[in-house]
Structure formats: C-alpha cells, structure tokens
Amino acid sequence: MSYRIAKNLDSALEALKEKDPATRIVAGATDLFLQEMPARLVDVSSIEELTAIEEIDNRLVIGAAATHARAAASELIKGRAAALVEACLQVGSPQVRNIGTLGGNVVNAAPAADAAVALVALGAKAVLVDSSGVWREEAVARLYSSYNCSALDGCTELLVRFLIEPCGQGEGSAFRRFAARKALALPLANAAARLKLENGMIASLSLVAAPVGPAPTRLIGTEAAILGKPAGEETWLLAAETAAEEVEVRGSLLRCSAAYRRHLVGILTADALRAAARRAAVSQSGSLT
C-alpha cells in the first residue's frame, strides 16, 4: 500500500493521471476503514485550495477538504448558510468531525449524510477537476449514481470545492435530524430547508430529506404545495403531511420501520421549515443569524 500526501492540486491530479482503479483520493479517511483498503491512497487534506472557507464575489466557497468541525465553527457559514453549520455539528462524533471532510461526506455517497443533505438544500454546486485539467460544475444532488455509489469517478476526478449562494435578506436555512442516540448514529431521517420570505409569504424554497432515495432528495411535491403560502403553523403542518405522503422510504431492522421513517420525514421537514422561516424573518429585520 502506498500513501501519498499531495501538497498541491497539481500533484494530486498527477497521481490521477494513470487512471488506476486502485488509486483513491482521501482526506479525513474516516469511512475508509470500513471498506476494503485500496492499494494507493492520495491524501488531499493539506492542499490549501481544498481547505479554504471564504466568500468570493458574493459566493460562499468551501474547500472540499474543509473538516466538519471547521465548517461548524465558521462564522461566515453560520451567517449565510446556517443549515450547513447545523448539519456539520451533528456528524459522527468530535473525533470524526475533526478529520472528516465535507467533500468526503458527499463522495462517500451515503444517502443520508448530514452535511450533504444541507448542501443540497442550500443549492450547493460542486466544482470538480479531472486529471487532464478540465474543470466542471455540478449540482451536489447530481453526484450520486446509486445507493452508496458516487457519480464521481474517483480515479480520474477530484472534488475541489463547493459554491453556495449565501442566504440574503429575507432568506433562511435550517437542518434537522433524528437518530437513535445523540452521537455516532446514522440518522433515521434528516431534512433541510432553505426559503425566502416576501411579505410573510414563501417566495422560494428548497426542501430536502433523506434517506428517501440514493441521494439527498428534493421534496418537489411539498415545495409546490407550500410555495406562496404564508409562513406559519398551518403551512408547516401541511408540509409535514405532504412530505410524509410524498416520500418513498424503506424500513430496516437496524434503523426503523418505513412507516415511522415516513412520519419522521414529515416532522423534520416541518421543524426545518419553521427554523428556516425564523431565520428568514430575523434577517429581514436586519440582523443576520
């Protein structure tokens, strides 16, 4: 087994040139030990470009190798994409959050990875580069091919950063999860919301829940049902009902029954909406939270 620490993007891409299926990009590597160990590992966690968290041209730019702990502690993200902070705070345990990265959370392709769910709700775009130096942007939701399978070809392509349009005035986001214990447990369900309020009405929104399919899944039906409605209890209850009806869920012996998961998706969706709307209202009144 070889383990290379790439110092910069070029050297990481160099390692991908051979298109060797036994080569694997790692950053936190927290999920690696649960799988068969690849022969060649390329560690990208110390590449500056991949770890920066900044705001450029009114866009949040978050390096793919930024750890959950850093993202959770970032004032920049807190003020502009609160759902991501909430999600990052609930990943694994302090140890996992200290080394696990946002990019890994997405590329590992677990259907209900907390940070990924928040990223999709926030409308995050992933910026990728392949070994021949070709760059592309892709919606995070499109980086999943099937259950626990990323659409990203890890032997030829590298996830570099995420781009998020920050929540502006009248906008808010939030993330909620439900698990069998308070840490180190996969969620039975999670949900994230981003919405914009105009005159107390929902002017735009994005709702995501998981595990509902292979990828964090937009709740299109629920979004349509409450768009244009007033931000209030009646709407949140309608969202809970619609979301629970809309989703395709599976039950499992290790987590919970499908019926309970469906119910939880509804509850969490309403909770996330409620919190996002509160943030939107506060931001409208002037102060960012």
Partner 1 sequence: MPTGIVESPVKIDPRVAFQSPEVWAKVTGKAIYGGDLMLPGMLYGRILRSPHPHARIKKIDIKQASGLAGVRAVLTGSSIVQKPYGIVIDDELPLAEAVVRYIGDEVAAVAAVSYEQAAEAARLIRVEYEELPAVFDPAEALKKGAPQLHAKFPGNIAWERHLERGNCDQAFREADIVVENTFTVPPIHSTYLEPTVCLAVSDPYNGLILHTAVQSPDQVRTIVARVLDLPLSKVRVIGPVMGGGFGGRVYGNLKLYIIASLLAIRTGRPIKMQLTREEEFLVGRPLIGAELKLRMAVRSDGTILAREADIITDNGAYSAQAPWVSKTLSERNDSVYQFKAIKTKVRLVYTNKVPTGQYRAYGNQAANFATESLLDMAAAKLGFDPLEIRLKNCVRAGDVTVHGLQLKSCALADCLKAAAAEIGWHNRKEGRGYGISAAIHSSGSVVFDKNFRGAAALARLELDGRVSIFSGEQDYGQGAHATFTLIAARALGIPAELITIHTRDTLASPFSIGALGMRQTTIGGNAIRLAAEQLREKIVQTAADMVNEPVIFEGGSVKSASGQVIELPAIAFRYYSLTSGLTLVGEGKYVPAESAYDKSGYGNIAVTYSFAAHAAEVEVDKLTGEIIVHRIVAAHDSGRIINHLAALGQVYGGVTQGLGMSCFEGYLFEGGRVANASLADYRIPTSLDVPAIVPLFIEQDDPEGPYGAKGLGEIVQIPVLGAIANAIADTAGVRVTDLPITAEKVFLALSGWECEA
Tell the smallest beta-carbon distance from residue 174 to partner 1 (Å): 17
Locus of tokens 């998020």: 164
* b/e per residue 253-272 (b: at least 16 CB within 10 A): eebbeeeebbbbbbbbbbbb
Locus of tokens 């990481």: 12
State the residues that interact with partner 1 by CB under 8 A. Answer: 93, 178, 180-186, 188, 251, 253-254, 256-260, 263-264, 267
CA 200 – CA 120 distance, rounded (Å): 24
Q: Which of 288, 277, 273 is nearest to 76 (CA)?
A: 288
Tell the smallest beta-carbon distance from residue 263 to partner 1 (Å): 7
Phi, psi of 41 (to 5 degrees): -115, 140
5 vs 183, beta carbon nearer partner 1: 183
Tell the smallest beta-carbon distance from residue 102 to partner 1 (Å): 21
Tell the smallest beta-carbon distance from residue 78 to partner 1 (Å): 22
259 vs 282, beta carbon nearer partner 1: 259
Q: Are 279 and 289 in contact (CB under 8 A)?
A: yes
61 vs 188, beta carbon nearer partner 1: 188
Helix axes 233-246, 258-284, angle to 10 degrees: 140
β-bridge partners, 208:
192, 218
Tell the smallest beta-carbon distance from residue 287 to partner 1 (Å): 30
72 vs 128, beta carbon nearer partner 1: 72
193 vs 256, beta carbon nearer partner 1: 256
Tell the smallest beta-carbon distance from residue 237 to partner 1 (Å): 11
Q: How far apart are the first and last CA of the chain?
A: 47
CA 239 – CA 261 distance, rounded (Å): 16
CA 282 – CA 284 distance, rounded (Å): 5
184 vs 201, beta carbon nearer partner 1: 184
